[in-house]
Amino acid sequence: MMPRAIYNEEQKMFAQSVREFVAKEVVPYNAAWEKKQMVSRESWLKFGEAGFLCMQVGEQYGGLGVKDFRYNAIVIEEIALTGCAGPAVGYPLHSDIVCPYIEHYGTETAKQKYLPKMVTGEMIAAIAMTEPGAGSDLQNIRATAVDKGDYYLVNGSKTFITNGYLCDLAVVAVKTDPTKGAKGTSLLVIDTSMKGFSKGKPFEKAGLHAQDTCELFFENVEVPKENLLGKEGEGFKYMMTELSQERLVVALGAIAAAEGILATTVQYTKDRSAFGKPISELQNTRFKLAEMATEITIGRTFADRCVELHTEKKLDQATASMAKYWLTDLQTKVADECLQLHGGYGYIWEYQVARAWADARVQRIYAGTNEIMKELIARNVLK
């Protein structure tokens, strides 16, 4: 990642350390992780030991207490730049999407139990919102949590869960009062020590082959009351609050992935010859590269501004939705154009561009589909 104006000297040095770590501890292992359909637990522990997991967690829970989101953005982007999409999704989800729910709404008991091990990578976290019949429409989830006095009795299932197969804990959206719609939704932390919590096998997906996405099942799981996040019935409000950061995380991964695959493609066009000269000298190639470089520069400027706004706690839901929708659309477009410039080799899995193309497509679906993003943006435009 090129040094940019939003980063100070200390952050630029931090970026270099993350880049070196990822080059040593992620890139060489990614192909093996793709075959196993998951990142190794050893890698999670190495990330924790390096201090790159849940950096914002307070020192009283074993974290570094880093409150400047720009450090989190650096980790997200440095992994995504390499094209190792499984790790690029899994680690930020753990640190920047799941962890804040426990930080912001968890009881002291839950914080002490889970945060220290999330910081070290001993416990891997997932977030379980999506169900077979409820994706972007989170108000219609069916998983239930019945109040039994000292605990909630949870039943239901979740699907398409990132980090699902390896997870040791999940923040789970449930209905504590099915008659109240969104106002009957609550959030619970459920861990694998609780009887009745089981997992399906990782899905064989079109992309993200190193990501252990799977189904989660809850059959009469007894969840202690101290594992309720915030107040009962306010889970939907908490999700709407935290989703702005989730969408920014996806957007940052998208723009970095686009930058990474463009750089790879530029080098390929210099090395590959056709009609007696490098294809980088063909006008169509040059125009395509110029178009992508321009759009990525526009996207990068917007992404950096969103990071600045979020660091200042000024990033609103509509702007985060704009970033998620536009930058993931751009990522998909760039991956497709880059594959075309590779010709037949672009469709061969050993080439990074094939992975980039396959991995990009889902970005427009999770964290709320891009169609839902447009609806959220439109509400803001029309209010």
Q: Where are the beta strands (DSSP E) in the chain?
A: 125-128, 144-147, 151-161, 169-175, 185-191, 197-199, 214-224, 228-229, 273-274, 277-278
Q: Where are the beta strands (DSSP E) in 110-239?
A: 125-128, 144-147, 151-161, 169-175, 185-191, 197-199, 214-224, 228-229
Asked if residues 212 and 143 have their Cβ atoms less than 8 Å apart, the reply is: no
Token pair for 30: 């990614």
**Per-residue exposure over 290-308, b if at least 16 CB sit within 10 Å of its own CB, e if not:** eebeebbeebbebbbebbe
Token pair for 274: 């056709």
Active site residue 246: yes
**Dihedral angle computed from the Cα positions of residues 78, 84, 90 and 92, in that order, rounded to the nearest 10 degrees:** 10
For 126, the 3-state DSSP assignment is strand
For 170, the 3-state DSSP assignment is strand
Instruction: Determine the Cα–Cα distance for residues 367 and 374; give it in Å rounded to an integer.
Output: 13
From 34, 131, 215, 246, active-site residue: 246
Residue 356 CB partners (closer than 8 Å, separation 6+): 83, 85, 257, 260, 261, 264, 335, 338, 339
Asked if residues 175 and 141 have their Cβ atoms less than 8 Å apart, the reply is: yes
Instruction: State the residue for tokens 């908490």.
Output: 238
Bridge partners (DSSP) listed for residue 126: 170
By annotation, the residues acting in catalysis are 246
